[in-house]
Amino acid sequence: MRETKQPVAEAADLGSILEKLERLHHIRDLSTLLDSILTETRSLAQADAGSIFLVEGKKLKFSYVQNDTLYRNDFLASRYIYSNSEIEIDKSSLAGYVAATGESLLVADAYKLGPGVPYSFNPYFDEISSYRTRSMLIVPLRTSKNDMVGVLELINRLDPEGKTLSFTQRQRSIVAQFAFYAGVAIERALLLRDVVYKMVMMAAMRDPEETQPHVNRVGSYSVEIYRRWAARHEVPKADIDAFQDLLKMSAMLHDIGKVGIPDAILQKKGPLDEDERERMKMHVLLGARYFENPQSEWDTLAREIALGHHERWDGAGYPGLASDANLSRMPSVPGKKGREIPLSARIVAVADVYDALSSKRAYKDAWEEERVLHHMRMESGKHFDPEIVDIFFEIYDVIKAIRQKWE
Ligand code: C2E
Ligand code: SIN
Ligand code: SIN
Ligand code: FE
Ligand code: FE
């Protein structure tokens, strides 16, 4: 996207940088974040193309690319073209040099690097794509503790007529400043992923039945059901891909509120009595309490799922409009009904019950497959959204493959 037609005034610069940074702060999903970082820095520097490498172990891994000239209308190709290439973190390549030294680089023409520099330009990408890389601006992405998380490369600064210009020293300092905050945002997205996995482990330690495999299955079934739902409803492919990471993490945490339920109930070997059941139901309100930041897309989704996964399509589920997580038992109020229940929660309800019935629990044996499928069919339009049940059966071979993978 080339939106700047002339050199930008300094004050306008500052305002727009702050605005762009503000947008980054609300993104927690890694691929969405990388996409935004490239869009914003390219617009700051009028760059035709750009890519991000992330540090993985001792290498740099090509993680994201945008290129207006090559892929104006082909988002998917632009994202995945390089996805397997890796670069050593040493001074022999441009990106490797920046990661190894922490210095940024300004290059006027990638094919005419000065004499005596240790790095060289790898023309592989230009050769396979017939693109011509000329000017480059390459800056490190660092965390708040100054650890290197990656490298941002901006390619070919273009004037409004499409002529390639060199990046300026001023752009170098603006982009480097921006990259510093972007590095912190990337660090947070990686941290979030890690925290989700740790929360899941924590729940698994408390509740021997809520095992890692169970949680992984519910996350994976939910993603597969959503992908089919989204294809039917013509959701753009790019949106599906951006949403599925969030959905998977959120679905994995659907029962996280069970950590607030006493062991005597949670781990009871037999059926719960009436009072215990009503206390157990509080796990949906306890879970929702973890995710109360309404500005975060991720919290919003995780909350929807924690709160809504025991609602029923026919309105006989819980918690309906109950919301007080400090109560000791679920108040008796009507459930939400039909499309009042968020789509995410309707999907996780199907995934969760299918998995609970097919698995052994402290209080029950695993059911036979036939009996499980009969139950799912019979509850269509009662417990479950009929469209979600249809999709479940349409993709049942995938569901079974997931079950086998996480036995
Ligand atoms: P869960 O074990 O993950 O079960 C999730 C949901 O699957 C249940 O939500 C229910 O809709 C369905 N489900 C599980 N087992 C059966 C079954 O044998 N028959 C039928 N018809 N449906 C089943 P629900 O009922 O709201 O329960 C929520 C959570 O409460 C359960 O999660 C489990 O942790 C606990 N729980 C429910 N009933 C009992 C019980 O009798 N004994 C014990 N120890 N825990 C129970
Ligand atoms: C949604 O996209 O959340 C609404 C779709 C539905 O209610 O079926
Ligand atoms: C069954 O026990 O097979 C069916 C019971 C139910 O649908 O909850
Ligand atoms: Fe639950
Ligand atoms: Fe569950």
Q: What is the pLDDT of residue 7?
A: 39
Which residue, 335, 327, 232, is CA-closest to 278? Answer: 327
Closest ligand to C-alpha of residue 207 is: 1
Residue 166 backbone class (left: φ over 0; alpha: ψ -120 to 50; beta: rest): beta
CA distance 156 to 53: 18
User: In 102-152, which residue ranges form alpha helices assigned H by DSSP?
Assistant: 124-129
The number of the ligand 3 atom at minimal distance from the alpha carbon of 379 is: 7
Please give the mean pLDDT across all residues of the chain: 87
Which CA distances in Å does 320 have to 200, 304, 307, 315, 360?
Answer: 25, 12, 9, 8, 29
Residue that the structure tokens 């049942």 belong to? 396
Summarised one tens digit per residue, pLDDT across range 273-291 is 999 999 999 999 999 998 9
Q: Is the CB of 375 under 6 A from ligand 3?
A: yes
Angle at 55 between CA 140 and CA 33, to 5 degrees: 75
Tokens of 380: 């269509």
Q: Which CATH superfamily is domain 11-190 in?
A: GAF domain (3.30.450.40)
Distance 249 CA to ligand 4 centre (A): 15
Does this model's pTM top 0.85? My answer is no
Low-confidence ranges of the chain (pLDDT < 70): 1-15, 25-29, 31, 71-84, 210, 238, 241-242
Contact 228, 387 (CB under 8 A): no
The number of the ligand 1 atom at minimal distance from the alpha carbon of 280 is: 30
Name residues contacting ligand 2 (CB within 6 A): 339, 342-343
Distance 348 CA to ligand 1 centre (A): 14
Q: Looking at this protein, which amino acid is placed at residue 70?
A: L
Angle at 383 between CA 388 and CA 209, to 5 degrees: 90
Q: What is the pLDDT of residue 375?
A: 98
The phi and psi torsions of 154 (rounded to 5 degrees) equal -105, 140
CA distance 397 to 307: 29
Distance 60 CA to ligand 1 centre (A): 46
CA distance 119 to 116: 9
Q: Where are the domains of the chain?
A: 11-190, 207-405
User: Which CATH number is 207-405's, of 1.20.140.10, 3.30.360.10, 1.10.3210.10, 2.50.20.10?
Assistant: 1.10.3210.10
